[in-house]
Amino acid sequence: MPSVFNRLVGAATGRTTLRSPSRSNGNGSSEHRHDLVPSPLLPDGFVVPASRWIHPSVRMRELLRTEPYLFGPGIYDPLGAQQVMYHGFKAVYFSGYSFAMGHLGTTDMDLYTGSEIADAARRTVAGLRKFQLTMAVGDPDKGIPPRHLDIPPVIVDMDAGYGNIFNVQRVTELYVQAGVAAAHLEDQVLPKRCGHIGGKALVPVTEMIGKLRMMRAVADDLGNPEFVVIARTDGLSAVDAPEPARGMELAVERGLRYLDSGIPDLLWCEFPTSDREPVETFTSQIRKRFPEARFAFNWSSSFKWYRDPNPMTFAELGEMGVGFIFITLGGQHANGLGLSTLLAAMAERQEQGYIELQRQEWADGADVPTRSHHFFSGVPYHHLVGTKYDAARLGREFAEDLPSEKVV
């Protein structure tokens, strides 16, 4: 972060600081292609981007320094993260609210544990690494060429830490060991609530800073000083806090105190609506003291953006100093719409509802990577590598020769 603390300790810890990018093309999608190199996990002749061996935290910091903004669609499982990667997004946001719905079928009120979401994050990071290998093979038998995809860094919700500093210690250790690039911590009391559910209360500033310090200490101790720490305040909408201030005054005061600690790399204020004026006020007030401050922004699914006559664009947020933008429940809403559409069609037209889904998947020009679940999940890769490692009944000779016009 642009704080004095980070500038002083950067050399000692090896941690690089985050600064606004020197260039801005306004789209957050500049291209950076790494060299292609072989991997022992690929058959001879196949390659992957060398970025595979760049630590996710290092990669995220590089993107934050060089992009006008970094955008991460919100998902909650490996399959969703793989689709994000397939479509070329440079970050993945692992949403706590979406995880609560997808994992437990419940809401965002600390009803799952830190180890549960950490395990899901671990499986997601592992799934992305495997997906890079399967896409690097393509499907030689069906003429599908390899795709050389960079692995996007994964940013994970840590809610309010699931307990005291020792809970924070444990979960941060699990995140870092899982290969997570970054995590955000919020200043609510436990059990916390979604930022858009009323009745939020805040812990003392010293308690929040202690948790942030623990996050940084764990990452440093595990040899990852580049781990990106995001501090979130719910001060703008909190109804209870130790300080007398409320609203914007409290949010700004909290944000400044957290940056004063020198710990956070990004600062996130949760806003109650899509109105731009509070965002402009918060970022400008913070930057009066920290001119190079970078922010995280939840382009939230809780807001009816389609009714906003002038919705904030990602490019505009980037110009305000927002380095990381995400839509927390974007994947959950997309899956909800898609599955509801299919189920309604099948309830009305039985098998014809599913046939219509397949027509859309296989329409000319459609790029739906999951339309062949065998390809997307890596069956061709498993046959090729199975042959390389002499696995039983794995090899292209075991693949049934079935007409492509009949099966996926």
Half-sphere exposure of residue 60: CA atoms within 13 angstroms, side-chain side: 31
Could you tell me the two tokens for 31?
A: 């291209």
Residue (of 176, 221, 230) closest to 64 by Cα position = 230
Phi-psi region of 143 (alpha: psi -120 to 50; beta: other; left: phi over 0): left
Q: Is 226 helix (H, G, I), strand (E, B) or coil?
A: coil
Q: What is the 3-state secondary structure (H, E, C) of 121-147?
A: HHHHHHHHHHHHHHHHHCEHHHCECCC
DSSP assignment of 169-217 equals HHHHHHHHHHT--EEEEE-BPSSP--TTSS--BB--HHHHHHHHHHHHH
Long-range CB contact pairs, 104-107, < 8 A, 24+: 107/194, 107/197
> Which one, of 6, 235, 236, 31, lies nearest residue 148 by Cα?
31
Q: How far is residue 226's CA from residue 239's CA, in Å, rounded to a whole number?
A: 35
Looking at residue 302, its amino acid is S
Residue 288, token pair as written in the block: 């009066």
Q: How many CB atoms lie within 10 A of CB 390?
A: 8
Token digits for 30?
């500049």
Is 194 a known active-site residue?
Answer: yes
Choose the catalytic residue: 194, 236, 263, 286.
194
Q: Give the span between the Cα atoms of 360 and 343, in whole angstroms.
A: 15
For residues 269 and 211, what is the distance between their CA atoms, to the nearest angstrom? 17
Alpha-carbon distance of 376 to 131, in angstroms, equals 8
Catalytic residues: 194
